[in-house]
Copies of this chain bind each other. A is one copy, B any other.
Amino acid sequence: PDAAATQGAQDRNGQLTKPPGALGRLEDLAIWYAGWRGDAQPQITAPQVIVFAGNHGVCAQGVSAFPSEVTMQMVANFEHGGAAINQLSKTFGAKMDVYPLSLDTPTADFTTAPAMTEEEFTRALQTGWNAVDPETDLLVTGEMGIGNTTSAAAVAAAVLGGDAADWTGRGTGVDDAGLARKTDVVGRGLALHATSDPLEALRCLGGRELAAMAGAIAAARHHRIPVILDGFICCAAAAALHKAVDGALDHAVAGHLSAEGAHQRMLDALGKEPLLRLGLRLGEGSGAALAIGVLKGAVACHSGMATFAEAGVSDG
């Protein structure tokens, strides 16, 4: 972040017509945003939501309540404007882009082979990097991929430590038997692909949409575009960056706490306090998109409010 813009924003915050600290976390958000944008009085005018979709070979192990066809069906739903993320993007004035990633060629089943080849992994990272519009001023990365809470749990365990049971949850809604099967699958993946390299873990256990989100989050950093992280799957991808490069997520805030069981543990590991806690567990970037409203409100107050001097208000 830009030190002069951060300082300028802090100074401005102290002069606005409100008691010190009365806007709570909105004040910290606005100053953080100003620093990353290099502008002490910024505006949010062009948010971008990108939804990456991928299919997962590990679905052959019976880890999801939904069939893999749903990934492609939901991509069509995104393209026709019918999904939750379409409504939220429109509500908060964000441009929304959808990237289906080789849906006819699922990743390999990670219990038997690395999910992606080096080439597939690099291509997904690059697609994510290139999907970020350099002119956007706030980024949300979302995903769709039947089976991807299984991949995300495996990536989280490999990257952040702990065992399969610590990270495996019910996803879109598996029953107890499904949860046990899913936990076993994650454990077998971890045993097969033991590595201390977080990006290698993302390649062997993740999926194309996770890799693409990681690429997009890294690109946003390059362009100084603040990011709102979504739920469990987005944060698993982000965790690989976090472990690979110290401070790699300093330009990101956690949009919400998902109802997926292990998301709180993941946010703790990332050192992020969620903006919203509304029990969402949909993915698509939905929780983060909802948090665009909070960021917009924070920045609008910071940049639009009068100072005590401008308004002729006594400052106590």
CA distance A207 to B10 in the complex (A): 35
Asked if A313 is at the interface of the complex by the 8 Å CB criterion, the answer is yes
Which residues 258-296 in A have Cβ within 8 Å of B in the complex?
Answer: 259, 275-282, 286, 289-290, 293-294, 296
Binary flags per residue of A129-158, CB closer than 8 Å to B gives 1, else 0: 000000000000000000000000000000
CA distance A17 to B24 in the complex (A): 36
Copies assembled: 2
- From A65-73, A220-228, A241-249, the one touching the partner chain is A65-73
CA distance A316 to B73 in the complex (A): 12
CA distance A17 to B283 in the complex (A): 12
**Residues on B with beta carbons closer than 8 Å to the beta carbon of A90:** 300, 304
Pick the residue among B66, B74, B306, B316 that contacts A66 (CB under 8 A): B316
Pick the residue among B25, B83, B316 that contacts A17 (CB under 8 A): B83
* Closest Cβ neighbor of A19 among chain B residues: B172
Indicate if the CB atoms of B82 and A306 lie closer than 8 Å: yes
Given A26-B278, A280-B23: A297 touches B293 (CB 8 Å cut-off): yes
Given A24-B278, A173-B20: A306 touches B83 (CB 8 Å cut-off): yes
Indicate if the CB atoms of A313 and B77 lie closer than 8 Å: yes
Indicate if the CB atoms of A25 and B73 lie closer than 8 Å: no
Pick the residue among B25, B86, B282, B314 that contacts A278 (CB under 8 A): B25
Which residues 49-100 in A have Cβ within 8 Å of B in the complex?
Answer: 65-67, 69-70, 73-74, 76-77, 80-84, 86-88, 90-92
Indicate if the CB atoms of B23 and A282 lie closer than 8 Å: yes
How many chain A residues touch B (CB < 8 A): the figure is 60
Indicate if the CB atoms of A301 and B22 lie closer than 8 Å: no
Pick the residue among B172, B282, B312 that contacts A73 (CB under 8 A): B312
Asked if A113 is at the interface of the complex by the 8 Å CB criterion, the answer is no
Given A293-B290, A301-B84: A22 touches B172 (CB 8 Å cut-off): yes
CA distance A83 to B310 in the complex (A): 11
Asked if A305 is at the interface of the complex by the 8 Å CB criterion, the answer is yes
Asked if A12 is at the interface of the complex by the 8 Å CB criterion, the answer is no
Binary flags per residue of A152-184, CB closer than 8 Å to B gives 1, else 0: 000000000000000000001100000000000
Indicate if the CB atoms of B22 and A280 lie closer than 8 Å: yes
CA distance A85 to B17 in the complex (A): 11
* Closest Cβ neighbor of A277 among chain B residues: B277
Pick the residue among B74, B86, B278 that contacts A313 (CB under 8 A): B74
Indicate if the CB atoms of A294 and B300 lie closer than 8 Å: no
**Residues on B with beta carbons closer than 8 Å to the beta carbon of A304:** 81-82, 86-87, 90
